[in-house]
Amino acid sequence: MNLSIVLSTQPAQFQAATFKGDLETNLRRIAALGYDGVELAIRDPKLVSLDELERLTRACGLSIPAIGTGQAWGEEGLSFTDPDPGVRRAAIERIKSHVPCAARFGAVIIIGLIRGIVKPGVDPVQAMDWLVEALRECSAAARPHGIRLALEPINRYETTLINNAAQGLELIERVGTDNFGLLLDTFHMNIEEPSIEASIRQCGARIFHFHVADSNRWYPGAGHLDFKSILNVLFAIGYHGYVSGEFLPKPDADTSARQAIANLRQI
């Protein structure tokens, strides 16, 4: 099992990025804990030197399986479904600007909260149309570089658009390209899926990336999810991507990351 953990390259309000702060220090900590890779949350690729990133990750022996983009929503309010066409355009261009970084490291581009929410006064059908158009444009820009986009179903308390795997699969049908798939997150699945295992089976080869956090969003093993059963199904369907820890840094970042890797490796 290849394990990675979320690290934010810029200051962010998002609480479940386990590591934040100085990049080099954190990369060294993550490598020393035994992780194979690091999932980078990058608000704006313009603020990151790819040469420096390559030098640092190489020096630590860490790969970059995925790039999180949600901070463009959290910190700047960019979204594919904003009623303002300028905001929608900026969100699309921002995702397209992640392609060179993703191509350099072979990373999946995550579409999390940058999809937005159905804002007051917006027709939900219209919001879905904007979402599909944006995803088609971004997937088309990524495809020639061999890059895949993964949309994450996110629980109802954080967004009104695409909360579960079934809605994610419907969206895949509408977008209609093979480099667009899903990122499943056990924290959201625990809230929205009738059966986490059945939904993983349903999504099958469309699972491009996988987040783990326990039911309380602490590290796996701190809540009541059955990770042995979940991961057995995930690998049985032929998933061979990364299992990426995205959990609260509780009781602190190092302890949570150490407990996660110990518990997951035991499985």
Select 62 or 184, whichever has its Cβ closest to ligand LER.
Answer: 184
Site for ligand LER in 222-261 (CB under 6 A): 246
Residue 70's binding partner out of ligand LER, Mn ion, none, with CB under 5 to 8 Å set by partner kind: ligand LER
Q: What share of the chain is helix, strand, coil (3-state, %, to 5)?
A: 45, 15, 40
Chain position carrying tokens 């987040």: 211
Site for Mn ion in 160-219 (CB under 5 A): 185, 211
Taking residues 144 to 183 in sequence order and writing x for each that binds ligand LER by CB under 6 A, - otherwise, the string is --------x-x---x-------------------------
Is residue 82 a contact point for Mn ion (CB under 5 A)?
no
- Residue 55 Cβ, how far from ligand LER at the closest point, in Å? 27
Integer Cα distance of 178 and 173 in angstroms: 10
In the annotation, is 24 catalytic?
A: no
Integer Cα distance of 85 and 19 in angstroms: 34
Taking residues 96 to 135 in sequence order and writing x for each that binds ligand LER by CB under 6 A, - otherwise, the string is ----------------xx----------------------
Tokens of 58: 């190489």
Query: Cα angle at 203 between 198 and 206, to 5 degrees?
Result: 160
- For residue 263, give the 3-state DSSP assignment: helix
Q: How many residues bind Mn ion (CB under 5 A)?
A: 3
Select 14 or 180, whichever has its Cβ closest to ligand LER.
Answer: 14
Residue 154's binding partner out of ligand LER, Mn ion, none, with CB under 5 to 8 Å set by partner kind: ligand LER
Integer Cα distance of 115 and 248 in angstroms: 23
Contacts with 210 (C-beta within 8 Å, 6 or more apart), sequence order: 183, 184, 185, 234, 239, 241, 242, 243, 244
Q: Which residues bind Mn ion (CB under 5 A)?
A: 185, 211, 246
